[in-house]
Amino acid sequence: MTQTVLVTGGAGFIGSHTCVELLLSGYEVVVLDDHSNSSPEALERVAKTAGRPIAAAYSADVRDRRALDTVFAGHRVDAVIHFAAKKAVGESVRIPLAYYDINVGGTTALLAAMHAHGVHRLVFSSSCSIYGDATTVPLTEDSPAAPTNPYATTKWTCERILDDLCRRLPELRVLALRYFNPAGAHPEGLLGEDPRGVPNNVMPFLSQIAVGRRGELRVFGDDYPTPDGTGVRDYIHVADVAEGHRVALDHLDDTPGMSVFNLGTGHGSSVLELVRAFEEVSGRPIPYRIVERRPGDVAELVADPAKVTAAWGWRARHDVAAMCRDAWNFQQLNPRGYGL
């Protein structure tokens, strides 16, 4: 019997690519998204890319219990993938209460609705940011959590809530995927990262500079203890992240309770290395300016993905050059993004 998956935040960057992966793998997909940082056009492109439509799309806030009840009452949902959240480190420092309200409040509202409708299988979108200012890299799932900003704290708080609920509700199965820095786009060029307003992530900023929409990149700090002084991150292709979520659905019932896995490549790139890689792929210069460090940022976040490879056989298959190539391809084909 075909399984139905509810994807919250399914019109967003990672969510839309995951919807394609699920549709191509035979799942029925239901999406809930308030489009606060996404476009409904992305769902039209999901259907074109996958060659089949999603089952239903609901425009609603994940904190809206009435909307959630409507979704669960209208579909026999077998599992939920929960992306819907705010996700910018710098913004979370400026408006922390909004992050706690949306990220934590949205997760608890979703869990309450799931429980009320007898749905007990969840893949949770977590983050490497919970590791904070790590003293040793690469990071394993057993590395201590030390969030340095409200965004990271919300993800850590949600993990703690999920872990506690799994101890008290034995029917609940949760996989928390701590992925590192998703980048790139679908290679066909219909889907990519098109945030509303000024991008908070570096890759869409590079793309918009190269296509002429923005003037220069601000590099937040060049005095970190890294080879060139700029922050080092484990960039992972969004297609690999999407595949990781699809594979996670196959393993939700492997063990009772909650399990945590890193999704990353195991290799770090500095901001300036990423700039050079994008310049090489695009053939366009990327002007940049060094500015002060951004509150809440850390020097280096690189994954040790050995646990997920051993458990599921999953590993990242794309390198930084592929991420830059696919992101640039999307931007060239869609110079104004989804047209908003």
Residue 164, token pair as written in the block: 């506690």
Q: What DSSP state is assigned to residue 102?
A: I
Integer Rg of the chain from CA: 19
Alpha carbons 137 and 267: distance in angstroms, whole number? 10
Residue linked to tokens 């310049």: 279
State the burial class of residue 52 (Cβ atoms within 10 Å of its Cβ: 0-12, 13-18, 19+). Answer: middle
The tokens for 95 are 């408006």
- Give the contacts of 90 (CB within 8 A, at least 6 positions apart): 200, 294, 295, 296, 297
Q: Is the peptide bond before 199 cis (omega within 30 degrees of 0)?
A: no
**Side-chain half-sphere CA neighbours of 249 within 13 A:** 26
Closest CA to 10 of 32, 36, 37: 32
What letter represents residue 228's amino acid? D
186: helix, coil or strand?
A: coil
Q: Mapping DSSP to helix (H, G, I), strand (E, B) and coil, where does residue 327 land?
A: helix
Task: Based on the residue annotation, tell me whether 151 is a catalytic residue of this protein.
Answer: yes
Give Cβ neighbours of residue 13 (< 8 Å, ≥ 6 apart). 38, 182, 192, 193, 194, 195, 238
Distances from the Cα of 33 to the Cα of 57, 155, 236, 300, angstroms: 8, 19, 24, 32
Tokens of 3: 């399984």
* Closest to 246 measured CA to CA, from 1, 5, 56, 48: 5
Residue of 151, 179, 224, 338 marked active site: 151
Q: Distance between CA 50 and CA 194 in Å, rounded?
A: 19
131 closest CA partner among 234, 249, 203, 228: 234
Give me the active site residues, please: 151
